[in-house]
Structure 1
Amino acid sequence: MIVPNGTLILVVDGARSALFRNSGAALAPQLDLIESADAPSPGTAEQGTDHPGRAFESSGTSRSAYDSTDLHQQDEDRFARRAAAQLDRLAADGKHALILVAAPRVLGIIRPLLAPATHHRLISEIARDYTGRPAQDIAAMLVSHET
């Protein structure tokens, strides 16, 4: 993939994100870290202790349980929504092309939240979890990625 100089690359999963800028050539990107965010979320068992509620049938004696709330997943979804808002802010300035690299589940959350103008600024959306990897690994993946 061609990554023009100055392109911003947002790498995100449910709890971490990193924003890079390509300061190298289009065919040999050199990624510089601009900012990173980390929002670790403890597991659901550590966050809540309540058991799921019960539903009683209007006739008869049968009961059923509600699904328990996955608090950890809610935290990750909230983080993904903040990443989508960050991407919209980056696209609003209109100065840089954008690339989004996100874990597949997170990408599915982010896509429908993006403004139409942001979709037009995106060069590529890549469904891979590359958070926590060094910039060189991300640059190598971008070069080898087929659009």
Structure 2
Amino acid sequence: MQPKRIWIIVTDGEKCRFLESTKRNEDPHAVLPDLETSNPPTREQGTDKPGRTFESVGNRRSAYEPPVDWHQQGKRDFAREVAGVLKEKTHENAFDRLIIVAPPEMLGNLRPVLSEETKEKIVGEVNKDYTRFTPREIKQQLSQSYDV
């Protein structure tokens, strides 16, 4: 019987690591290059000054706030990019099980954009930020709850 290929996705909205764990006594190893995005704070995106608008009555003017928080939009776009990679690898049968480790905000951005085939392979979600952990530390944290 072939060992189960468990992928561990560790992401935070700006960086994503794709790790694979096939043997219990070995540390997970990277199976794809890390995905990274440059997502500066909203104040550094867009124009220097918000636009101005006139009041409907009188000649008063006020600042116009953009309808989008560009920093949050960047995180949602990154979640779609990660979901696209996972969908492609699901179709290639690259893994049997999937564990997603991400802060709650990223999990919320990622869940709706995952394909149904990918969702079927998810065996666990951890709402923590492990992006700065080594593969060994990630395995130690996950081994308490999952068979990795």
TM-score normalised over the length of structure 2:
0.80
Superimposed CA distance per residue, residues 107-141 of structure 1 (whole angstroms, 9 cap, x where no aligned partner): 10110111222111111122111112100111011
- Letter matched to residue 67 of structure 1: E
Counterparts of 1:43 and 1:18, CA distance in 2: 22
What SS does structure 2 have at the residue aligned with 1:41?
Answer: coil
Aligned partner of 1:16 in structure 2 is: 15
For 2:38, give the aligned amino acid.
P
Structure 1 position 45, deviation (Å): 3.4
Contact 1:91 1:98 in 2 (8 A): no
The RMSD of aligned alpha carbons is 2.5
Letter aligned with residue 51 of structure 1: K
Give unpaired runs (5+ residues) of structure 2.
Answer: none
Distance 2:39 2:108 in 1: 20
TM-score, normalised on structure 1? 0.80
| Partner residue of 1:66 out of 64, 67, 71 | 64
Aligned residues: 142
Which digits, 9 at most, give the CA deviation of each residue in 1:26-75, with x for residues without a partner? Answer: xx563111221222333333343432223333333444433245333332
Identity %: 35
Amino acid in the other structure paired with 2:125 = E
| Structure 2 partner of 1:50 | 48
